[in-house]
Structure 1
Amino acid sequence: MTAHPSLASVRACVFDAYGTVMNLGDLSTEFAAALGDKTAPLMDLWRRKQLEYSWLRTLMGQHADFWTVTSDALDYALSSFGLDDPALRARMMQAWMAPCPYPEVPAMLDRLRAAELKTAILSNGSVTMLTAGIGAAGLTDRLDAVLSVESVGRFKPHPSVYALAVERFGCTPAEICFVSGNGWDVAGAASFGFKVVWINRAGVPQERLPCGPDVVLASLDNLADILGA
């Protein structure tokens, strides 16, 4: 199968974890009974604050691992909605240790590896979070590497994070296909020099940032096809 022209030189495929390989939408479903009509706005606020805190900590030089950032963001979200339920909070945090993968992920990774493409996760997640989540999803043996920002003490989209994949695979940025469902992550990876595939499941507009994706897909189903796998 012939690869998409812009991806013909790719030797490794590197994935964002949360919202790309792992389905964060399942978290809303899991806690809908407890949160009721607060589910969607609270979960949206939790995720937004999680990302904002990661970016702000990097700008301030005040790094904390993603578990701490996620915890702080949840506390803000719960407080914003007047909720004080330690048991619910504990359950919501624990859900990040075993998020469900999108259903097409295992077969897609198998195809890439059969085509001798290297595969990896490059994530803001802490090593503990990623190890647990990838293991629970049955993906451990389908990945050549799991790379966490903890190696550099900064969060994406800082260039030092994307450089971890270049160092791991010993190739140029243009030989790496970076795959993300997050528009800001797409822009950061493209700015670094990766070939980038944006998984735009929700059909949202492209971010108004200097760099964008080489290819846009609605899911991971056709990723192996465009990589010639």
Structure 2
Amino acid sequence: MSMENFPSIIVFDVNETLLDITSLEPLFARIFDDRNVLREWFAQLILYSQTMTLSGLYTSFGELGVGALKMIAAIHQATLTDKDIEELKERMSTMPAHPDTTPALSQLRNAGFRLVTLTNSASTIFPTPLEKAGLDHFFERTFSVEATKKFKPAPDTYQWVARELSVKTSDLCLVACHLWDTIGAQAAGCRGAFLTRPNNALLPASGVPHPDIIASELTELAEQIIRAASSTSER
């Protein structure tokens, strides 16, 4: 795939891409006796966030997260308490950074890239999960879909980020460990860099945009981005 005119602005997804959602596993292990129910909950959270957007509706990601936990508990016939709900909120707001996050962000910043984030989570929580994880200083802007009230991968959300930065979507490269996110970004005109963290993989089907860059470690993804931009500048 051609890397001509590779973007210098890198847009990072936050949840699972930068921050480790496996820190929520103890909650699911306690409620459901199975830590893997975390993945079922997260999949339902993404499904219903996208459903709300397609339906022209909006409820914050945090509220949907709580609702999805209640729904999963009803499906599994598990007892859920107010204390469990509070623990979910606390754990969602204090997810630690993946070990490869800080080195990768340092690589990209030192190479001269502009770094921003785009998350489905609301921006009204202070300090933000990025601040608590010690990552906020890497980014010049932190964007939330709260502004558009359209969850990723709605095209309007990626286009809004480009407008806010006074650039075209083709000037952005989205980094995410969710293929649905890179698909949306690429369909909106951005480049897509796919991080194959555990529980995430390519979707081999016709018509599905193939990511411009793929790696299993964020540091390797950063190195590929730097090489792609270097080869562009040498032309």
TM-score normalised by the chain length of structure 1: 0.89
Question: Partner of 1:190: helix, strand, or coil?
Answer: helix
What is the correspondence of 1:46-57 to structure 2 with a 5 Å cutoff? 46-57=41-52
Alpha-carbon distance in 2 for matches of 1:121, 1:207: 27
Q: Does residue 1:86 correspond to 2:82, yes or no?
A: yes
Amino acid at match of 2:56: G
Question: Partner of 1:128: helix, strand, or coil?
Answer: coil
TM-score normalised by the chain length of structure 2: 0.87
Please give the per-residue CA displacement for 1:128-155, whole angstroms capped at 9, x wherever unaligned.
3485200111011111110000111111
- Worse-matched range after superposition: 143-152 or 102-111: 102-111
User: Which of 199, 222, 225 is 1:224 aligned to?
Assistant: 222
Alpha-carbon distance in 1 for matches of 2:48, 2:125: 18
CA separation of 1:178 and 1:151: change in aligned 2, threshold 3 A:
same
Alpha-carbon distance in 1 for matches of 2:90, 2:145: 20
Q: CA deviation at 1:31?
A: 2.5
Please give the per-residue CA displacement for 1:135-191, whole angstroms capped at 9, x wherever unaligned.
111011111110000111111111011112212322222221110100111111111
2:27 aligns with 31
Q: When the two structures are aligned, how many residues end up with a matched partner?
A: 224
Alpha-carbon distance in 1 for matches of 2:66, 2:148: 21
When the two chains are superposed, the root-mean-square deviation of aligned CA atoms in Å is 2.1
Alpha-carbon distance in 2 for matches of 1:60, 1:25: 30
Alpha-carbon distance in 2 for matches of 1:25, 1:53: 21
Q: Does residue 1:10 correspond to 2:7, yes or no?
A: yes
Q: Does residue 1:71 correspond to 2:66, yes or no?
A: yes
Alpha-carbon distance in 2 for matches of 1:217, 1:118: 20
CA separation of 1:178 and 1:50: change in aligned 2, threshold 3 A:
same
User: Which of 108, 113, 136 is 2:109 aligned to?
Assistant: 113
**Structure 2, unpaired ranges of 5+:** 228-235
- Preserved contact between residue 179 and residue 201 of structure 2 (Cα < 8 Å): no
Alpha-carbon distance in 2 for matches of 1:146, 1:178: 13
Q: Does residue 1:195 correspond to 2:191, yes or no?
A: yes
Please give the per-residue CA displacement for 1:106-127, whole angstroms capped at 9, x wherever unaligned.
1211222222211011111100
- Worse-matched range after superposition: 197-206 or 179-188: 197-206
Question: Partner of 2:10: helix, strand, or coil?
Answer: strand
- Preserved contact between residue 120 and residue 144 of structure 1 (Cα < 8 Å): yes
Question: Partner of 2:84: helix, strand, or coil?
Answer: helix
Question: Partner of 2:17: helix, strand, or coil?
Answer: coil
- Preserved contact between residue 100 and residue 137 of structure 1 (Cα < 8 Å): yes
Q: CA deviation at 1:66?
A: 0.9
Q: CA deviation at 1:65?
A: 1.1
Q: Percent identical across equivalent pairs?
A: 21
- Worse-matched range after superposition: 78-87 or 14-23: 78-87
Amino acid at match of 2:24: L
Q: Does residue 1:173 correspond to 2:169, yes or no?
A: yes
User: Which of 34, 41, 44 is 2:39 aligned to?
Assistant: 44
Amino acid at match of 1:58: T
Q: CA deviation at 1:194?
A: 0.9
- Preserved contact between residue 191 and residue 210 of structure 1 (Cα < 8 Å): no
